[in-house]
Chains A and B, each alone.
Chain A
Amino acid sequence: MPFQLDIVTPEKTIFSDSVDDVYLPGSEGEMGILAMHSALVAPLQPGELRYLKDGRVEELAVGEGFVEVTGDKVSVLIDLAIGEDAIDEHQVEEAMKRAKNALDGVVGDDPEEMQALMMSIAKSEAMLKLKRKRR
């Protein structure tokens, strides 16, 4: 049974259509949501979002955010959502390298900074993983 899925970033609405199921990278592990799921709010971590629409599985790399599930609607609020074809592998690799170098620089003295860098690395990894999967 299809239900409505909205994927929204502060910059724009990425996706708004009916889908058959959706899999999300929850902070407690991957979770799948089907129609008639009970109302739920859960934070998301960087990773891969999958949904099934018209028998086709579509995948997006996503950043931090959260998901809100109500009776017939799933809203994903996220700071980044990008499809496989929009990912520039080279650019992401560069960004990841930069973040990793910066991470070596802070070593231990600023946990907040480190966490932010880890987060950006996790996002890059999620994007790369998605990009390379299709080959």
Chain B
Amino acid sequence: MANLRDIRRRIKSVKSTSQITKAMELVSAAKMKKAQDQALAGRDYADKLNKVLVNLKENTTEESHPLLEKREGGKELMLVISTGRGLCGGLNTNLYKAVIKSATDETEYVTVGKKLRQTIAKTGGNIVTDWEVADPVPFNDAKPVSKFLTEKFLSGEYDKISVAFNNFVSTLTQTPEVFQLLPIESEDLGEKQDYEGVDKGEIGETDKAAALGADYDFEPSAEGVLDKLLPLYINFQIYQMLVEARASEHSARMVAMKAATDNAKNMIDDLTLEYNKARQAAITAELLEITTAMKAME
């Protein structure tokens, strides 16, 4: 029979664990809300940027810009956005599976977040560099990342730049995705971007028509504006994906912690039942002893 003291000790330890998971759940819930709001706040910016890009696309010869230039084959550089901390369910594992699926042996990596950096390093992937991004994501943190990636592409060191991140679909669903950042697919430019779960950076058909209809003057020239705008566009996309990944992280953690708290609760119930049974058995045994002793004295 289980020792009463042992059961009591186990109940106590499970209880304190559940308190921790409960606290983590609440913290993640608050942070998730913030990350979602942040992604939504970028919406105005995305809409306007897309509108101008749609129009620019019509007014310039796209192939003229080096960021749009497609190159055959060549080396791929992949930015992997994982989480800085664990305890978020299968989020990083799923992302890693997606990375492996789309990467080749030639692929080299740049990472944000500690978790997959460790995994990739362990499995022999070549990591060029890595960044840490604060929480909530400041826009300025996206800049060095996008600058680095753009430079690597323009210098010809890599012929394709892609980004692997967790797309935030809803609190319960996050899907790992690999998105081609460079060269910019000119069809994608200004189109609906369905990688953005929280913030659909899309413009409606009417807006699109309006954007195409607007007869803009470009100052100094359409090409000059495109030169300035494309880096901003890349910058913004990286920022958006960072925010997206952050929202995924917090919601996955919240769900994982909620499950942990529920499990702990069930366990406490089971243990309490066992404890009571053991206690009852002990009392019965004791009573039995007393009555036997009394019988013997008579």
Contact = CB atoms under 8 A, between A and B. Distances in A.
B48 A75 contact: yes
Given A41-B56, A79-B139, A8 B219 contact: no
A90 interface: no
A61 to B, nearest CB: 15
Contacts of B224: 43
A40 B41 contact: no
B225 A41 contact: yes
A11 B56 CA distance: 24
Interface string B41-84: 11011001101100110000000000000000000000000000
Nearest to A116: B147
B48 A40 contact: no
Interface residues of A, number: 26
Interface stretch (A47-55, A63-71, A127-135): A63-71
B45 A41 contact: no
Interface in A7-31: 8-13, 26-28
Interface of B is mostly: helix
B218 interface: yes
A42 interface: yes
A8 B55 CA distance: 19
A10 B143 CA distance: 12
A38 B32 CA distance: 42
Interface in B215-232: 215-220, 224-225, 228-229, 232
Contacts of A64: 232
B195 interface: no
Contact of A66 (B52, B55, B147): B52
A104 interface: no
Contacts of A70: 214
B45 A8 contact: yes
Contacts of B214: 39, 70
27 contacts: A6-B48, A8-B45, A10-B41, A10-B45, A10-B139, A12-B41, A13-B41, A13-B44, A27-B228, A28-B219, A38-B217, A39-B214, A39-B215, A41-B55, A41-B217, A42-B218, A42-B220, A66-B52, A66-B229, A70-B214, A75-B48, A77-B45, A77-B48, A77-B49, A79-B139, A79-B235, A116-B143
